[in-house]
Structure 1
Amino acid sequence: MRAVDLIIKKKNGGTLTREEIKFLVSGYVNGNIPDYQMSSLLMAICFRGLTAQEQSDLTMEMLLSGESVDLSSIKGICVDKHSTGGVGDKTTLVVAPLAAACGLKMAKMSGRGLGHTGGTLDKLESIPGFRISLTPEEFFRQVQDISLAVVGQTANIAPADKKLYALRDVTGTVESTGLIASSIMSKKLASGASHILLDVKVGDGAFMKNLEAARELAQAMVAIGNSQGRKTVALLTDMDQPLGFAVGNALEVIEAIETLKGRGPKDLETLALKIVSELLLMTGLEKTEAEASERASRALADGSALDKLRAMIERQGGDSRVLDDYSLFS
């Protein structure tokens, strides 16, 4: 089996088998397939696409390239939330502490910027001293103690995706439904949560510019998640304009803090409440939309969600004074 033959096969519209995908992924991870050949394959995929089976096979091979996190030792329901990103998307910074305040366990591994958007990790690192790297023991203990941790994807979690993720960013191959779906779901499945909510952005400020493309991506990811025994739900949310008013890492963290204080932009607050309400419903903690919405709104209004963010910042070495003094941001 040769990489060049598989590149040509995909370029001509062929379908790659599981064994061929395994050969390509493992070969790239161990260095037998160089960047220039993988770049060529990624571009062929961008033009030709991936079938549902290819997406599933690519997801699983990237997942199997490393370790998976076992969250079974954590008491409670472990959930994960992912946004496909867009200009000004700082949703995780509000949703994660809000979900934790509502009784869910948010054990989250986040990413850096891809394309024109900043990632959650980039934003959190604007908090002085904040550590995005925790030992497994620190991660599990923190989630058990305060129901919340947001850390970086470790080298052992889907290393194939981590390597491909960086290559896509510099080769113009970010905007491919199959590659996005496989990349996201390899990390989500490896991260160990039993319930996964996907916030798929659609509009001028998102990767998915129209509803049809966003729905295609959402359906692909939900199918992959559910096929692996994870309860997976997707929401299609508007990104025709930036979310909130702030764009830029530190500015977006400040806006998220303001939202947790009840003073943020209404579009961000409404979306965060919707996502957390959906998490409460899909996990069975609440039975009706009204009850879920009321529980999420109460956690925002009484300050318990802000307290969770404060606790996370302190546990991960950050200066929690930034919550009250924005001049401390780096």
Structure 2
Amino acid sequence: MRFTKTGALTATVALCGLLAGAAQAETWRAWAIHPEDYPNVVAMQQFADEVTEKTEGRIEPTVYANGVLGAQPDAIEQVRAGAIAVGNFNMGPMGEIVPATNVLSLPFIFRDVDHMHAAMDGEIGQRFSDALSEEGLVALSWMDSGSRSFYNTKHPIETPADMDGLKFRVMNNDLYVQMVDKLGGNATPMAYGEVYQSLKTGVIDGAENNYPSFESSNHYEVAKYYSITNHLIIPECICVSTKVWDGVSDEDKAIVTEAAVKAADLQRELWAERSDASKQKVIDSGVAVNEVEDGQAFQDAMEPVYADFIAANPDLESLIRDIQSVQ
């Protein structure tokens, strides 16, 4: 093929333009801990696809599922440093970095999942995002992680007295230890991967979690009593690194934020479907599921937990009250 001087110049200019455009494209590593078919990861993939499309490739997130980029504490630090651009994080482990987020781990801080949505989608959620941004994270939207209830190998739990003497696995957080202790049980912090065998051998009598985790971990095979207390409802975020965010144009910030909100909406929808399916599976397997009728008795038992928390964190008392007042 023959080129004229003018044609060659035009081709060179076009090539330079393409190279410049390619140089402007920014690849974002996106962290997720769950498998690819999990509601959170499906939603994160939608987020990545929409951002890539709407920014015309200026930002191209790639989702890494199954925690392949590290455990959550490590991933949080990598996002703060800008090594990972964005992640889907649970607020439970965030308290060591952002003390205000410990409020979200208080038992019964939310009346139900709808109350959590109303709080986190409004001014309360913005306050948490502001607190996170001071530590290198910007919360773009809020996802579900379900409501957690107690399950055990012995009998249904109807009142706090039914927990007397039972050993319950909890996550490694003093608030969760206090929660079980005040209800009369014996709290045993333990790695999640050890729970099934510990239930099977009697090292522990029970644990607490949401329906999808209870089912997917096969804990329902050995713990045949699931009592709905809804004592913990801990939100999750799609959080982007401030080091990355500060370099994003206002136009692309709007695109990314909108995509994150839509991803959270999808995750909530998929989570509700997954929870219903998991509940039905455990019931069909012969697990006895009961809803605690006197939830107030469990909440009343938490008064010393709140009192101790407020005494240690007096500046967070108003935040607790504001969350509780959200309608």
TM-score, normalised to structure 1, is: 0.29
User: Whose Rg is larger?
Assistant: 2
TM-score, normalised to structure 2, is: 0.29
More strand, by proportion: 2
